[in-house]
A = this chain, B = another copy of it.
Amino acid sequence: MTGVDRDTVSVGEFEFECGESIDDLQIAYEAYGEFTGDNAVLVCHALTGSQHVADVDRSAWSRDDTGVDEADEDADSADSDEKNGDSATAGQARAWWNDVVGPGKAIDTSDYYVVCANVPGSCYGSSGPASDGPDGDPWGTDFPPVTVGDWTRAQRRLLDALGVGRLHAVVGGSVGGMNVLDWARRYPDDATRIVVVAAAARLDPQCLALDAVARRAITTDPDWNGGDYYGQPGPENGLALARQLGHVMYLSKSSMAQKFGRRSAGRDAHRETFPTDPAASFFPYRDVESYLDYNADNFVDRFDANSYLYLTRAMDDFDLREGYDSDADALAAFAGEALLLSFTADWHFTTEQSESLAEAFRASEIPVAHHVVDSDHGHDAFLVEPENVGPPVADFLADGVEGRAVTDTAVESDGGTDTEFAPVHSSLFSR
C-alpha cells in the first residue's frame, strides 16, 4: 500500500497513569507507506496537532484512491495556522508536516511506514473530553486526566494492533518531542533511532506560567460551564485567548518584527468578532492583532477547549527525570541513537534546553547529535523551515548520528560536558 490508511481503532480497556480507567480507548491514526517489518516510523504530533501529518493521497506521486474528505480535513491542522500561507493548499487546513513527510521527502513514505496517532485527550477522533462517554454524552471533564506517558502507552497499544513491534524511529516536535523522550525512557528497546525536535526534558516556569494563564482564560469564561458545554457555543472567548498566547509563544521577537512590525492592518473585520472599547477606534488595529484574532477565530472552530486544558496539563507535567535521579539516568537504558534539533530563536523550547538534554544523552553514553538551526522563526521553525529540518532528519533516519547533514554541538569538544554551541548568538531572544 502506497497511500494513506486513515482509521480509528479500539485498543480496549485502558488505565491512565492517574489510576482511572475507561472501557474502550479509541485511537485515531493515519499511516502512510508500506510496512516491511523494520521500517516503521512513529511521528508524534504537537499540542494541538493531529494524526494528519501528510497529504500523501493528494500528491501527484500517489495513485492511491482512498479519497480526501474535505470536511474532515478542515478539522485537522497543526500548531501553525498561516493567515497568508504560501503553499498550494493555503486557504484550507493543511497536513501539519507535509513538507517533511511524504514520498520523496525527508521522512520518505516510499521507504518508511509512517504512523501518527491522535493522542488521548485530544479531539481529532481519539478518546478525549469531547468524545462520547459511557452514557452516550461527551465525557467533558469526567474524562480521566492524561499524561504524556498515557500518550506513549496508547501509541504502543495502537502499534501492537497494527502488528508493529520494534520501530525504526520515533520522531516528534514540541510536546511531541517530549512524547519521543518518553518512548526512549519507557520502551528503551523499542526504537532504533529517536528524533526530538524543538523540545526539552521539561517546560520552564515561564512557559508553565503562560499555560496556566491560558487555562485560566478558558475556565473563567462563563461559557466553559465547568466543562459541560457540548452542544452549545462553549468558551470561545477563553479558548481564543489561550490560542493567542500560544501563538505568541511559537513566534520570536524577530519573526514578529519581520512579519508584522507596527503596521496597521488593512482591514478591521476581525476586530469586530469581539467587544472592544470605543477608544479603540482612535488607535490603529495592527497587523499583529489582526493576525492573532484571525487565527484565534479559526482555532476556536477546530479545537475543543477541554482538550486544550487536558493537553497543556500533560505538557506541563512532563519531566524526563521524574522517578529517576537525573535526565541521564532516565535515558540510560535507551539502546538506540538520538538526534536533537533546536532553533536559535525558539524561546518556548530553547537551544540551551536541548543542549542540556544532549549532555544527558552523552552522560549515559548514548550516541547523540544536537543539531542547532540558526533561525529567526522561533518555535514555529520546526514547521516552517522544512529546508532546515528535512536534511538532518533524513540523513539521521538513514545513517544515524553519522548522517551527512547531521551536525553536533559537541563536535569541537571532547564530547563531554564542556561543549560549544555553534552558532553562538549575542541574543537568542531579541533577534
- A289-317 CB contact bits vs B (8 Å, 1 = yes)? 10011000000000000100110010011
For the complex with contacts A220-B275, A279-B310, 9 further pairs of A-B residues with Cβ separation under 8 Å are A204-B256, A206-B248, A209-B248, A216-B237, A219-B276, A224-B275, A227-B278, A352-B427, A428-B430
Question: Given A213-B292, A279-B145, are A205 and B257 also a contact pair (CB < 8 Å)?
Answer: yes
Flag if B216 contacts A262 (CB, 8 Å): no
> Who on chain B is nearest to A344 by CB?
B427
For residue A172, give the distance in angstroms from its CB to the closest CB of chain B: 22
Cβ of A350 under 8 Å from chain B = yes
Contact B222 A222 (CB under 8 A): yes
Q: Which residues 191-229 of A sit at the B interface, judged by CB distance below 8 A?
A: 202-206, 208-210, 212-213, 215-217, 219-222, 224, 226-227
Assess whether A68 is interfacial by the CB under 8 Å rule.
Answer: no
Residues of the B chain whose Cβ atoms lie less than 8 Å from the Cβ of A240: 216, 220
Identify 5 residue pairs between A and B in the complex whose beta-carbon atoms are under 8 Å apart, listed by A's number: A18-B282, A209-B248, A220-B240, A283-B313, A426-B426
Alpha-carbon distance A284/B145, docked complex (angstroms): 13
> Please, how many residues of chain A have a CB less than 8 angstroms from a CB on the other chain?
75
Q: Determine whether the beta carbon of A204 is less than 8 Å from that of B426.
A: no
Q: A241 near B: Cβ within 8 Å?
A: yes
CB distance from A143 to the nearest CB of B (A): 8
A212 CB contact (under 8 Å) in B251, B262, B286, B313: B286
Number of copies: 2
B residues in contact with A204, CB < 8 Å: 253, 256-257
Q: Which of the residues B205, B222, B310 comes within 8 Å of A256, measured between beta carbons? A: B205
A288 at interface, CB cutoff 8 A: yes
Residues of A near any B CB (own CB < 8 A) = 18, 141-145, 202-206, 208-210, 212-213, 215-217, 219-222, 224, 226-227, 237, 240-241, 244-245, 247-248, 251-253, 256-257, 259-262, 274-280, 282-284, 286, 288-289, 292-293, 306, 309-310, 313, 316-317, 319, 347, 350, 352, 421, 424-430
Contact residue among B145, B222, B241, B248 (Cβ-Cβ distance under 8 Å from A241): B241
If A245-B213, A257-B204 touch, whether A429 touches B426 (CB-CB below 8 Å) is no
Instruction: Give the contacting residue for A347; candidates B203, B245, B282, B430; CB below 8 A.
Output: B430
B213 touches A244 (CB 8 A): yes
User: Which residues of the partner chain B approach A306 to less than 8 Å between Cβ atoms?
Assistant: 277
A280 and B426 within 8 A (CB)? no
User: How near does chain B come to A227, taking the closest CB pair, in angstroms?
Assistant: 6
Main secondary structure of the interface of A (DSSP, over half): helix
**CB within 8 Å for A261 and B430 given contacts A241-B213, A282-B145, A317-B283:** no
* Docked pose: A149 CA to B81 CA in angstroms: 37
Given A141-B279, A427-B429: A220 touches B286 (CB 8 Å cut-off) = no
With both chains docked as a complex, state the minimum distance between the C-beta of A371 and any C-beta of chain B, in angstroms.
18
Q: Is the CB of A286 within 8 A of B145?
A: no
By beta carbon, the residue of chain B nearest A219 is B275
With the chains together, A240 CA to B210 CA distance in Å? 13
Which residue on chain B has the smallest CB distance to residue A245? B213
Query: Chain B residues with Cβ under 8 A from A309's Cβ?
Result: 277, 279
Which B residues are CB-close (under 8 A) to A277? 141, 215, 219, 227, 306, 309-310
| Contact of A430 with B310 in the complex, beta carbons under 8 Å | no
With A279-B141, A429-B429, A430-B347 already in contact, the answer to whether A274 and B219 are too (CB < 8 A) is: yes
Chain B: minimal CB distance from A394 (Å): 29
Contacts of A143 in B (CB 8 A): 279
- A260 — which chain B residues lie within 8 A by C-beta? 205
Q: A429 with B279: in contact, given A205-B260, A248-B213, A292-B212 (CB under 8 Å)? A: no
With a CB–CB cut-off of 8 A, which chain B residues contact A217?
217, 241
Return chain B residues, CB-CB under 8 Å to A18.
Answer: 282
